[in-house]
Amino acid sequence: MSLFRSKVLLFSKVKLISLSCLICLPLTACQPTPSPGWSGYVEGEYLYLSAPIGGRIDKLGVAAGQQVEANAFLFQLDKEAEEASREEVAAKLIVAKAQAENASKGRRQDELAITQAQLANAQAQATLAQNDLQRQQQLLTQGFISKAKLDDALTNVKLTQARIKELNAALAVAKLPSRIDERNAAQANTDAAQQALRQANWRSAQKSQNAPVAGQIAEVFFRPGEVVAAGQPILSLLPPANIKLRFFVPEGEIATIKAGQMVQIACDQCGTGIKAIITRISTQAEYTPPVIYSNAQRAKLVFMVEAKPDSTSASLHPGQPIDVTRIKTEVEKKS
């Protein structure tokens, strides 16, 4: 009798459970099917800022997590050697400019005065030689001297006249600038010194770096007093425009999206209305399980998709999980 009662009770419970399922089934079927969504996360493209010249960090003007404006001071390296080199090159430039200017001028006035005095002396000698020649000619006519004496006086006149020509030419040359080749060489030295100074100024300026754009200091890798190599990142900066989204779309749904399409973003405590535009769809698929091309495994095949928020949102942070849904077109909504 006890066994019979147990079977009756068990049968009643089964009927009750079956009836409950039948009642709930229509209610469940009436619920709207949730829109398909994809999972992903927020990604940041960081700027790793460094100096092209290595050295010891003298000053650090920012801290991790700090918001900075464009051109804000970030850090400065020791630049004593660069400053000394710049001063040396600046001095060489002064020398080169002086030499180029000197090559474009003639002799100094005092030097010209010496040549002019020599010319005046030669002219006086020529006058004396000419007078002596006239006297010798008279004496030869009177028969007091020989023909050889007259020839000596004539030669002396020619010598003094040649001396005058020589000094006139020397005076003209002294007033001229250097030869064109010498002037070109002097100008080339000046140009080279100017470029060397430009390079020295650039090297000195590179020891101090400012923020290229506004953003948030993500990490600071070195502190004042530490030595860094050339090109070694000292800090990382995340501009708001460098925030992007990554999510993964199953193989069966990848044909429903394309680059340039808008998607809706949802995340914890980030509000509503955040939209993004798809910028990239990966050309390679990814598998979570081993790659086996079977019908069972194809369902687990996903493609990475990247999107850019249509407006910068302070609520989006790198690493933050997000849910992405496709925004239906007007044609899809009507259908």
State the chain's mean pLDDT as an integer.
81
Measured distance CA(74)–CA(217) in Å, rounded: 10
Which helix or strand (DSSP H or E) is residue 283 part of? strand 274-287
* Residue 334, pLDDT score: 60
* Residue 29, pLDDT score: 42
Stretches in the chain below the pLDDT threshold 50: 1-35, 289-294
Global pTM? 0.65
* Residue 195, pLDDT score: 94
Which helix or strand (DSSP H or E) is residue 210 part of? strand 208-210
* Residue 37, pLDDT score: 81
3-state DSSP of 62-90? CCCCCEECCCCEEEEECCHHHHHHHHHHH
* Residue 314, pLDDT score: 66
* Residue 313, pLDDT score: 64
* Residue 331, pLDDT score: 58
* Residue 123, pLDDT score: 86
* Residue 108, pLDDT score: 72
Only one residue has tokens 């509000």, namely: 271
CB count in 10 Å sphere of residue 235: 24
Q: For the chain, which residues make up each domain, given as ranges?
A: 37-45+240-334, 47-79+208-238, 92-200
Angle subtended by helix axes 147-174 and 109-142, to nearest 10: 160
Which helix or strand (DSSP H or E) is residue 204 part of? helix 180-206
Return the percent helix, strand and coil in the chain, to nearest 5: 50, 25, 30
Q: Quick one: fold of 47-79+208-238?
A: OB fold (Dihydrolipoamide Acetyltransferase, E2P) (2.40.50)
Domain 37-45+240-334: assigned CATH number: 2.40.30.170
Which residues, other chains included, contact 155 with Cβ-Cβ below 8 Å and sequence gap of 6+?
none
Which helix or strand (DSSP H or E) is residue 189 part of? helix 180-206
- 208-210 and 235-238 strand pairing: unpaired
> Is the domain covering 92-200 a CATH 1.10.287.70 domain?
no
- 67-68 and 47-49 strand pairing: unpaired
pLDDT digits (tens, 9 = 90+) for 124-163: 888 888 888 888 788 778 777 777 877 788 888 888 888 8
* Residue 169, pLDDT score: 78
